[in-house]
A and B are shown apart, each in its own frame.
Chain A
Amino acid sequence: MDNTNTNSFQKQKNKEEMKKQLITFVLMIGFTIVAFAIVATNAMDKMFAVPLLLILAVVQVGFQFYYFMHMKDRGHEFPSVMIYGGVFAAMLTIAALVAIVWW
C-alpha cells in the first residue's frame, strides 16, 4: 500500500470509517440506556420486555462484530464462517435443551 499516492482517497475513507464508528458507538450506548431504562422503570410487561432486550442485545453483538471488529470489511470471510458455525452449534444446543428437556 502506497500511502503517498492514495493519501486523499485514504483520508476520505478514514473519515467515513470514523463517522460510522462514532454512529454505532452512540447507537450502542443508546441501546444500553434503553435496556436499562426498560428494566429500571418497569415500563413494560415482562412479555414484551424480555424479547425486546434480546433483540437489543443481538443488534449490539452485530455492531460489535461488523463495525468494531471489522467483519464487514473484506478478508473476514473465514472468521465469519467460524463464528456462524459456532453460533449454529450453540443454537442447536439451546434449541434441543429447550425443546426436548423443558417443553
Chain B
Amino acid sequence: MSIAAAQKRGFGAFLWDYLTTVDHKKIAHLYLVGGGFFFILGGLEALFIRIQLIAPENDFISAGLYNEMFTMHGTTMIFLAAMPLLLGLMNAVMPLQIGARDVAFPFLNSLGFWLFMFGGILLNCSWFLGGAPDAGWTAYTPLSAVSPTHGVDFYVLGLQISGAGTLMGGINFLATIVTMRAPGMTYMRMPLFTWTTFVTSTLILFAFPALTVGLFLLMFDRMFGSAFFDVALGGNSIIWQHLFWIFAHPEVYILILPVFGVFSEVIPTFSKKRLFGYTSMVFATMLIAFLGFMVWAHHMFTVGLGPVANAIFAIATMAIAVPTGIKIFNWLATMWGGSITINSAMLWSLGFIPSFTIGGMTGIMLASAVADYQYHDSYFVVAHFHYVIVGGVVFGLFAGLHYWWPKMFGRILNEKLGKIGFWLFFIGFHLTFFIQHFLGLMGMPRRYWVFLEDQGLDTGNLVSTIGTFLMAISATIFLINIIYTSVKGEKASADPFDGRSLEWAISSPPPYYNFKQLPLVRGLDPLWVEKMDGKDNLAPAEPLGDIHMPNSSILPFIISFGFFIAGFGFIYQTDHQAWNFAIFIGMGIALGSMLMRSLKDDHGYHISKAELEREAD
C-alpha cells in the first residue's frame, strides 16, 4: 500500500517534472516521444493505404476513408513526425555542440513543444469527430474550401497551432546559436549539425509565415464567408497553391538539411577523419537554403503558368542539384582512406547515400517542366519524394538516434537489433518505393482509391505492399530495441564513439547545467583537437562560479491548452453560436497566462559554487 503510494507519487512527480520542464534536454525527450507517437500513427495510416492497394479494386477501406488516410498520412508524417523528431535531435544536441548551458529562451522552447503537441492532438481529434481532413496534405483549393466535413477545419487550426510552435523553435535556435556559443567557438568552428540547425531555423523563420497566411485565408473562406479562393466571387484558387508551395518547398529542405548535418557528424566520427571540405559543406548548405526559396513553382508546372515561368523555375530547380551533389561527394571523400567502423549509425548513413541520390536524380527528371507533364500527380512523384524523405530524412533520423542515444539517455542501443532493423528497413524501403517509379510511368495516378485489374499494375502494387510490412517490422524492432536498451543496455561512457565535437566532452547524459565551466574552444572538432594534443578534455574558459538557471513553469502547457480549446471553438462556431464561448474561454486562458508570465518577474535561480564543488566530476 505504502509502496504503491510512493510509486504513484514518484510517477506524479516525474510527470509534473516533464510538464513543467524548460531544460532543453528534457524538451528533446518530449519531442522524441511526441514525434515518435505521431510517427507510429502515420505509419499505421501508411499500412492502411498499402493494404487497400494490395490488389486491384480492393475495398478494404471505403473511398472517403481512403482520402482521409492519405491526407492524414502526409500531414502527420511531415508536420507531426519528421519535424518534431528533428527538433528533438536539435534540442538535445545543438546547445551541447556549441558549449551552451541551455537555449536562449528556455520558456519559449517549452511553449514551442506544447503548441506542437496540442496542435497535433487537435488535428487527430478529427478522426473521432465526424471525419479527418480529406483534401490531401497540400489541401488545394477549391477542394479544401468546399470539403463538407469539419476535417479541413481541423487541418487549418491544428497546423496553425503547431506551426506557431515550430516558428518559436526556429527563432529560439537562431538566437541561441548567435548569442550563446562558448568562448572560441567561432562560426567557422561550429559542427555541421549546428550549422544545419542554424540554416534550417532561418528557413523556418522565412517559410512558415507563408503557411500561416495561407491557413488564415483558408480559415476565413471556410468559416467567415470570405472569398479569397472562390473564383465565383472574384477570388483566385491558384493563390493557395503559391502560398502553400512558397512554404512547402522550403519545408522539404527544413526536413533534409538537419539530417545532412547528422550525416556530417556520423561519417567523420566513424571514419576517424575530419569532414572533407568543411567550408564547402557550410556554403552548400546556405546555397541550398537560398535557392530553395526560388523553386516553389516546380510543383505547379502543369497549372499553366506559361512557358517563361516554367522555364525559369525549371532551371532554378536543377541548380539545387549542384550544392546537393557537392555534399554527396564530400561525404564520399570523408570516408575515402578513413578507418571505417560499420555500426548501426554508420549503416544508416551508408544506406542513405545511394537512396537519396536516386531521389535527387528523379528530382532532376521532374524538374524538366516538359517531362513533368507526364510525371505529375503519378506514382512517379510519390516514388521521388519517398526516396528523398524516407531515404534521406528517416534514414538520417535513425542514424542520429543511434549516434546520440547514449548522449541523450546514457545507454547504448543494441547493435545487433540495430543492424537487423536497418537491413529489414533498407530492403523494405526499396521494395516499396522503387517499383512505384514504374507504376507511375505506366500511368498509375497518385491518391486514387483503387486501380483496375490487368493493366500491368497488379504485381507492382503487391510488391510495394510487401515492402511496407518489412519497414513496419523494422520500426517495431526499433521500439523493442529501445525497451531492451533501457532495461539491459550497456551504460555509456562520456565518449563511447571516440567523438570529435563538444557534446562528447561531458558525461552521458549530461548534468542539468551541461557545463560546470564553459569550455575554451581551440579549433574545429574541439574535442579532437585536445585529444591530438594528448589531453582528455577541454580547458575551462572561466573560473568555477555560480550558474544561473531558469525556473520550471507550467504556463507553456496552460497557454497551449487554451489555444487548443479555442481551436475547437473556431471549428464548431459555424454550427452553433454557443461555441463562441469556447473561443472566449480558450483565448482567455491563453492570453491570461501570457499576461501572468509578462507581469510576474521570474529571475530563475542560481546553483551555488559550493554546490558545484561538492559534485564530483
Interface residues, chain A, CB within 8 Å of chain B? 78, 82, 85-86, 88-89, 92-93, 96-97, 99-102
Report which of A85, A99, A100, A101 forms a contact with B202, defined as CB distance below 8 A. A85
User: Which residues of chain B come closer than 8 Å to A102, judged between CB atoms?
Assistant: 236
Given contacts A82-B205, A89-B207, A92-B293, 6 further A-B contacts (CB under 8 A): A78-B178, A82-B174, A86-B205, A93-B246, A99-B309, A101-B238
In angstroms, Cα B14 to Cα A2, docked, is 50
Min Cβ gap A59→B in Å is 24
* Chain A CB within 8 A of B239 CB: yes
In angstroms, Cα B242 to Cα A93, docked, is 8
The reply to whether A89 and B293 form a contact with Cβ atoms under 8 Å apart is yes
Min Cβ gap A93→B in Å is 5
User: Which residues of chain A come closer than 8 Å to B236, judged between CB atoms?
Assistant: 101-102
* Chain A CB within 8 A of B599 CB: no
User: Which residues of chain A come closer than 8 Å to B294, judged between CB atoms?
Assistant: 92
User: Which residues of chain B come closer than 8 Å to A88, judged between CB atoms?
Assistant: 293
What are 15 of the A-B contact pairs (CB < 8 Å)? A78-B178, A82-B174, A82-B202, A86-B205, A89-B207, A89-B293, A92-B246, A96-B242, A96-B246, A96-B297, A97-B239, A100-B242, A100-B309, A101-B238, A101-B242
User: Which residues of chain A come closer than 8 Å to B243, judged between CB atoms?
Assistant: 93
The 4 closest A-B pairs by CB, nearest first: A89-B206, A93-B246, A89-B293, A100-B305
* Chain A CB within 8 A of B210 CB: yes
In angstroms, Cα B294 to Cα A78, docked, is 22
Min Cβ gap B129→A in Å is 34
Give the interface size class of chain B: 10 to 19
User: Which residues of chain B come closer than 8 Å to A85, judged between CB atoms?
Assistant: 202, 206
User: Which residues of chain A come closer than 8 Å to B297, judged between CB atoms?
Assistant: 96, 100
- Which residue of chain A has its CB nearest to the CB of B174? A82
User: Which residues of chain A come closer than 8 Å to B205, judged between CB atoms?
Assistant: 82, 86
Min Cβ gap B173→A in Å is 13
User: Which residues of chain B come closer than 8 Å to A92, judged between CB atoms?
Assistant: 246, 293-294
Min Cβ gap A81→B in Å is 9
In angstroms, Cα B174 to Cα A86, docked, is 14
User: Which residues of chain B come closer than 8 Å to A82, judged between CB atoms?
Assistant: 174, 202, 205
User: Which residues of chain A come closer than 8 Å to B238, judged between CB atoms?
Assistant: 101
In angstroms, Cα B207 to Cα A97, docked, is 15
User: Which residues of chain A come closer than 8 Å to B206, judged between CB atoms?
Assistant: 85-86, 89
In angstroms, Cα B236 to Cα A97, docked, is 11
- Which residue of chain B has its CB nearest to the CB of A99? B309
Min Cβ gap B121→A in Å is 31
User: Which residues of chain A come closer than 8 Å to B207, judged between CB atoms?
Assistant: 89
Min Cβ gap A102→B in Å is 8
Min Cβ gap B213→A in Å is 9
- Which residue of chain A has its CB nearest to the CB of B203? A89
In angstroms, Cα B174 to Cα A92, docked, is 23
In angstroms, Cα B343 to Cα A45, docked, is 73
In angstroms, Cα B206 to Cα A97, docked, is 17
User: Which residues of chain B come closer than 8 Å to A97, judged between CB atoms?
Assistant: 239, 242
In angstroms, Cα B198 to Cα A85, docked, is 14
In angstroms, Cα B205 to Cα A89, docked, is 10
In angstroms, Cα B186 to Cα A8, docked, is 35
In angstroms, Cα B174 to Cα A85, docked, is 14
In angstroms, Cα B306 to Cα A101, docked, is 11
Min Cβ gap B511→A in Å is 31
